[in-house]
Amino acid sequence: MHKFRIGIIGAGTIGRTHIETALKNPNVELVGVAEPFEAGKAWVQKHDIPWFASYGDLLDRAKPDGVIIATPNDAHANVAVDCIQNGTAVLVEKPIADTLANARSICDAAQAKGLPALVGHHRRHNPLMREAKSIVDSGVLGQPVSMTAMCTWYKDDDYFKAAWRRESGGGPVLINLIHEIDLMRFIYGDIASLQAMTSNAIRGFEVEDTAVVMMRFVNGALGTVTLSDATVSPWNYDLAARETDRFPQQDINSHFFSGTHGSLTLPKLEVWSYKDQRHWEKPISVTRSEPLRASPYEAQLNNFLAVMAGKETPVCSALDGLRALEAALAVRESASSGQAVQLAKS
Ligand SMILES: NC(=O)c1ccc[n+]([C@@H]2O[C@H](COP(=O)([O-])OP(=O)(O)OC[C@H]3O[C@@H](n4cnc5c(N)ncnc54)[C@H](O)[C@@H]3O)[C@@H](O)[C@H]2O)c1
């Protein structure tokens, strides 16, 4: 594969992960980072990387083949559509956008230009997630019946100094729950309908700090998710899956998939089943497979390059991003109306 000219837009928390990942990739020439604000600019220049004050400058002067967009959520659509219209492939951080109309504008622009548009639901690229999917697809769980996900931990006050994280384009539903939704769609398939409650009682921000969600999947299974960024608690995939050194690892499971013949936990990949008779008074046994450990951010970048080279399809397409956003926004809609929300069929 030849070297691709890659630009990165936004040098905040995750933008820096993308920069470090790009610098390590032998098939990438990191041609520049666009970051209008001083803190990000200083970080970029300290690392001796070409810096641009705006993404327009980056596109005009560095002429990247593809860009990774790591700006606040409400800027994703404008930036992505401009890049695509400029002839540049995009990998947009999740959520794909802050509204469904904005998400559709990215899908439409990419289709019109025939350019790749991928979304950064990076967990799909983790080998453990692929192993989980193959376990469920192999049928060892029998008929899928239920799933439960815990997404609770404590975010510090500094995290909320960035205003967008406290406003309606941000919040843990769009920043975190959307990862759970994408993970569940990846393993169990589409969500048919959901009902939710949210609360901002702890932090008092415009956005929720806590949510509970009930879902019905198209495959017939039911699911629940508990989400809160205001609890001292380790029950969270980010703290368990060892995807980044940012989070001290906890020896816990965060996701529980159960079927008529067995159950699967994540991220520990435990499969529970009966050896002989299915009977609640008989011993139930567990098998554990040691998943390959690899950086999902590196695999995600490799998929972006391979899609640009015409060698692979997106592991997480713009349409996948749109479907996850639709479900995340339905959580807020259901919480405010008190009604269940039906989701579109894929
Ligand atoms: N996949 C993941 O693991 C993951 C993790 C964290 C955040 N995210 C997503 O990444 C995005 C960024 O989140 P973050 O936590 O890094 O935010 P952040 O606030 O730390 O960083 C955003 C950066 O974008 C810059 N920026 C703002 N407008 C810009 C513009 N027009 N052009 C260029 N740069 C601009 C800001 O100055 C800032 O440095 C969000 O969409 C978030 O949901 C994904």
Q: Take atom 27 of ligand 1 and give the residue whose Cα is closest.
A: 71
Distance 204 CA to ligand 1 centre (A): 23
Q: What distance lies between CA 184 and its chain's CA centroid?
A: 11
Residue with tokens 């049928």: 139
Confidence at residue 1, expressed as pLDDT on a 0 to 100 scale: 67
**β-sheet bridge partners, residue 264:** 257, 271
Query: Does the beta carbon of 91 lie inside 6 Å of ligand 1?
Result: no
Residue nearest atom 14 of ligand 1, based on CA coordinates: 13
Q: Which residues of the chain have pLDDT under 50?
A: none
pLDDT in tens, 188-229: 999 999 999 999 999 999 999 999 999 999 999 999 999 999
Q: Any idea what DSSP says for residue 114?
A: T
Say what the pLDDT of residue 191 is: 97
- Specify the ligand 1 atom closest to the Cα of 40: 39
pLDDT of residue 244: 84
Whether the CB of 43 sits within 6 Å of ligand 1: no
Secondary structure class of 103 (helix, strand, coil)? helix
| Contact 98 CB / ligand 1 (< 6 Å) | no
Measured by CA distance, the residue closest to atom 11 of ligand 1 is 70
Cα 106 to averaged position of ligand 1 atoms, centre (Å): 18
Ligand 1 centroid from CA 282, angstroms: 51
Could you tell me the distance, in angstroms and rounded to a whole number, from the CA of residue 79 to the centre of ligand 1?
12
Query: For position 184, what pLDDT does the model report?
Result: 96
Residue nearest to atom 25 of ligand 1 (CA): 10
Select from 14, 20, 297 the residue to mutate for testing ligand 1; criterion: most ligand atoms less than 8 Å from CB.
Answer: 14
> What CA–CA distance (Å, rounded) separates 286 from 220?
25
Q: Is the CB of 14 within 6 Å of ligand 1? A: yes
Those residues whose C-beta lies under 8 Å from the C-beta of residue 106, and which sit 6 or more positions away, are 76, 77, 80, 81, 84, 90, 92, 96, 97, 117, 318, 321
Distance CA 286, CA 195 (A): 33
Closest CA to 343 of 167, 181, 124: 181
Note the pTM of the prediction, 2 decimals: 0.94
Ligand 1 atom with minimal separation from the 243 CA:
3
- Please give the number of the atom of ligand 1 that sits closest to the Cα of 71: 24
Pair of tokens at residue 325: 């956003």
The token duo for 49 is 């990387």
Q: Is 162 in the pocket of ligand 1 (CB under 6 A)?
A: yes
Measured distance CA(90)–CA(308) in Å, rounded: 10
Query: Which of 45, 71, 300 best tests ligand 1's pocket when mutated (most atoms within 8 Å of CB)?
Result: 71
pLDDT of the residue at 346: 62
Instruction: Determine the distance separating the centroid of ligand 1 and the alpha carbon of 16, expressed in angstroms.
Output: 9
